[in-house]
């Protein structure tokens, strides 16, 4: 019989919580509501939202706090650590070259005008870019360990990042890097995890 205090009883772990797979990036105008909880997993119910489509190497989520350390003379170890600034970013490289995606990569402030086909007129769309970047909302739709939706929702975000697109004969697809920067308090960012279906 083991002596009390000498037995080794490690904690259990759950391999079902080790998740992998895609998350689907949606954007919308600032103030657009998410679908109802019961509809989060149904792409047809994302009214007012735009799916960015296929990407190169998926979507990345990054939270980067910059800490301010409070020091006193009597000890080399900080006595407090406070968040001075922080960034929350969602990044990807969009692989579908549409005017909506090009506009989104370049700040999202542009306008797309359509010209109908007519006599002597080609049907066309023209994107006019703008340096007045608007505010957006975004959501990442993934799947949790139960197979139900898990949504990362950022209600206020802005597209602002370096964009370089390579036009090559056969090396790779034309990609449009996208950097979405949160402009809301961290407490407004939600992670919605559906655990059970509705009755």
Instruction: Report yes or no on 3 lying in a domain.
Output: no
For residue 15, give every residue at least 6 positions away whose Cβ sits within 8 Å of its Cβ, in sequence order, or none.
none
Q: If you search the block for the tokens 């007012």, which residue do you land on? A: 48
Burial class (CB in 10 A: 0-12, 13-18, 19+), 154: buried
Which two three-digit tokens encode residue 113?
């005008």
Residue 105 lies in a domain: yes
10-residue mean pLDDT series, the chain (199 residues): 74 92 95 97 96 95 95 94 95 96 96 95 96 96 96 97 91 93 96 95
CA separation for the pair 50, 29 (Å, rounded): 9
The domain total for the chain is 1
Domain assignment of residue 198, yes or no: no
Does residue 9 belong to any structural domain of this protein? no
Domain assignment of residue 12, yes or no: no
Domain assignment present for residue 6? The answer is no
**Contact by Cβ (8 Å): 154, 132:** no
The predicted pLDDT at position 1 comes to 58
Range of the domain at 70: 17-193
Q: What's the predicted TM-score (pTM) here?
A: 0.89
Q: Is residue 87 included in any domain, yes or no?
A: yes
Q: Of all helices (H) and strands (E), which one includes residue 183?
A: none
Residue 171 has a pLDDT of: 83
152, part of any domain: yes
Residue 108 backbone phi and psi in degrees, to 5: 75, 5
């Amino acid at each position: 019989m083991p002596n009390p205090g000498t037995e080794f009883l490690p904690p259990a772990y759950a391999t079902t919580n080790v998740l992998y797979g895609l998350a689907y990036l949606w954007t919308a105008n600032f103030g657009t509501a998410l679908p109802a909880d019961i509809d989060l997993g149904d792409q047809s119910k994302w009214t007012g939202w735009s799916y960015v489509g296929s990407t190169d190497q998926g979507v990345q989520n990054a939270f980067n706090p910059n800490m301010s350390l409070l020091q006193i003379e009597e000890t080399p170890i900080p006595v407090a650590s406070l968040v001075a600034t922080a960034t929350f970013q969602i990044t990807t490289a969009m692989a579908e070259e549409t005017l909506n995606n090009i506009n989104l990569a370049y700040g999202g402030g542009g306008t797309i005008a359509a010209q109908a086909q007519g006599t002597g007129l080609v049907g066309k769309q023209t994107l006019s870019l703008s340096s007045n970047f608007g505010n957006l909302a975004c959501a990442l739709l993934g799947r949790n360990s139960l197979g139900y939706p898990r949504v990362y929702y950022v209600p206020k975000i802005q597209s602002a990042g370096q964009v370089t697109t390579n036009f090559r004969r056969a090396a790779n697809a034309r990609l449009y890097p996208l950097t979405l920067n949160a402009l809301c308090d961290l407490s407004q960012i939600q992670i919605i995890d559906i655990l059970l279906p509705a009755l």
